[in-house]
Amino acid sequence: MFASGNGSNVEEICRFFEQDLSVTVVAVLTNNLNAGVIQRVKQFGLKAEVFNKADFTEGGLLKKVIDLKPDLIVLAGFLWKIGNDWVNTFPNKIINIHPALLPKYGGKGMYGHHVHKAVKANGERVTGITIHYVNEAYDEGAIIFQEEVQLTDEDRVEDIAKKVHTLEHRHFPSVIDQLLKKESNEV
């Protein structure tokens, strides 16, 4: 799993699979030395590994991940763009969660608070989450799952964020579980 920040989705995923002996989190990776995910994964006996831009773009990290032989790479609040080398090495094996109903509010710079702020500014009546495969473009990979939540005029940006986080925590682990079961059935 890759995360850049707080790591609440990583924590929920780890908790979901904690008692499932058929699933192993082989690595938690972050590009942020101060990311909350580093502390969150300790309760599961995991150590988040911090990497830098050079590791990510020059192939060192890709080689390390290839050696881990993951069935799935999960981006859970990871903010860097995944390069073509990653997409080509792991076709349909890298998934991301986005805090809006794509194709709305996707693309470069549209993450977290920025998305919720735009949703509020446009007076949207619904928002939600999208879990999708990662391709060469920001937030344009094939959609795996979407769930929506109703909004009211009274919802503040913080309220929207909370509603979306609730959806993320409820659905992301189970969608990952379904993908892993599908993968194991195809082998």
Catalytic residue from among 98, 132, 165, 171: 98
Q: What is the pLDDT at residue 183?
A: 75
pLDDT attached to residue 42: 98
Residues in contact with 3: Cβ distance below 8 Å, sequence separation at least 6, in sequence order: 9, 10, 28, 29, 30, 35, 37, 48, 75, 76, 77, 78
Q: Where are the alpha helices (DSSP H) in 18-121?
A: 37-40, 53-57, 60-68, 84-89, 112-121
Flag whether the pTM goes above 0.75: yes
| Bridge partners of residue 75, in order along the sequence | 2, 96
**171 in Cβ contact with 11 (< 8 Å):** no
Of 95, 107, 29, which is closest to residue 62 (Cα–Cα)? 29
Q: What phi and psi, each to the nearest 5 degrees, are found at residue 99? A: -85, 45
Structure confidence at residue 70 (pLDDT): 97
Residue 98 annotated in active site: yes
Q: Which CATH architecture has domain 2-186?
A: 3-Layer(aba) Sandwich (3.40)
Q: Would you state the pLDDT for residue 86?
A: 97
- What pLDDT does 187 receive? 55
Residues in the chain where the model's pLDDT stays below 70: 187
- Please report the pLDDT score of residue 185 as a whole number: 72
Measured from the Cβ of residue 179, the count of other Cβ atoms closer than 10 Å reads 20
| DSSP H or E stretch at residue 100 | none
CA angle 28, 32, 35 (to 5 degrees): 75
Cβ(155)–Cβ(127) below 8 Å: no
104-138 pLDDT, tens digit per residue, is: 999 999 999 999 999 999 999 999 999 999 999 98
